[in-house]
Amino acid sequence: MIPNGDCRSSLRFYHFERSDVVTRIKICGLTRKEDVDTALKLNVHAIGFVFYPNSPRYVSPERARELMEIIPPFVTTVGLFVNATVDEVANVLAIAPVKLLQFHGDETPQQCNTIADRVQRQYLRALRVKPDMSGDDLVQYERLYRQGNPSFAGLLLDTYVDSFGGSGKVFDWSIIPKELAHRVVLSGGLTAQNVSGAVTKVRPGAVDVSSGVELAKGIKDPAKMQAFVQAMQLADTYLPE
């Protein structure tokens, strides 16, 4: 029996299997109701809220809760945290009970697992991919987190920059091993212009976009959102079995 509030066994966008050839779509950094409405009309699988105060896309837990009120049950809400303490994450979820955590700082496996166990959620671990990293590095990093706790849901691969919370830049997708690709969330510099190529080349379990569908930081562009989703759907249509 699942404890009250435990989302670790719920239906979720991060169940990565390619049999249905549907690449899950997460739009992150939403701050406005109209942008959430647009994302829902486009049938995205997950919506991300940034709880990192230094980010221009930061939303307060109270604002996130207001936005979550219009989100239906089978759309996954994701909370992005950077080096937050157990109590800080618990306090946010007491107000805005997102279904999935995303750790984007310097958190160790033990720290991630401790927080996930405390709030009874699964989590994504962001890995900021450096130019000198190899495919083996990615596999080892995933293994390090996966072996620690069943709360680990998967890696989110982003481009390395000297700041936290997303880069808006592309890294070398060719280093992602085929055996790992279907389990990762691909992020970093994705737009309507390059997402089809990314999905065709990498075949990730999901993609994550933020700056690529914005007018300004935290302000989404409905036309860019629609173009991104359509490009994603077109890529899935022509993926080989």
**Residue 162: which CATH number?**
3.20.20.70
% the chain with pLDDT above 70: 88
Sequence-distant (6+) residues with CB within 8 A of 216 are none
The mean pLDDT of 15-23, rounded to a whole number, is 58
The per-residue pLDDT of the chain, averaged, comes to 90
Rounded-to-integer distance, Cα 234 and Cα 95, Å: 38
The CA-atom distances, in angstroms, between 59 and each of 54, 101, 142, 212, 227 are 10, 15, 29, 19, 25
Read off the pLDDT band of 169 (50, 70, 90).
confident
pLDDT score at 239: 72
Comparison of pLDDT for 207 and 21, the residue scoring more = 207
> How many independent structural domains does the chain possess?
1
Q: Domain for residue 15, yes or no?
A: no
Q: Domain for residue 16, yes or no?
A: no
How many residues does this entry show for the chain? 241
Q: Domain for residue 8, yes or no?
A: no
Q: Domain for residue 17, yes or no?
A: no
Read off the pLDDT band of 38 (50, 70, 90).
very high
pLDDT score at 161: 76
Rounded-to-integer distance, Cα 235 and Cα 197, Å: 8
The mean pLDDT of 191-214, rounded to a whole number, is 95
Q: Domain for residue 207, yes or no?
A: yes
Catalytic residues: 28, 158
The mean pLDDT of 172-197, rounded to a whole number, is 95
Residue 191 has pLDDT above 60, yes or no: yes
Q: Domain for residue 2, yes or no?
A: no
Closest by Cα among 62, 149, 58 to 108: 149
The CA-atom distances, in angstroms, between 141 and each of 25, 138, 166 are 23, 5, 19
Query: Residue 209: which domain range?
Result: 24-235
**Residues 100, 46 contacting (CB under 8 angstroms):** yes
Read off the pLDDT band of 240 (50, 70, 90).
low
Q: Domain for residue 11, yes or no?
A: no
Q: Domain for residue 10, yes or no?
A: no
pLDDT score at 17: 43
Burial class (CB in 10 A: 0-12, 13-18, 19+), 183: middle
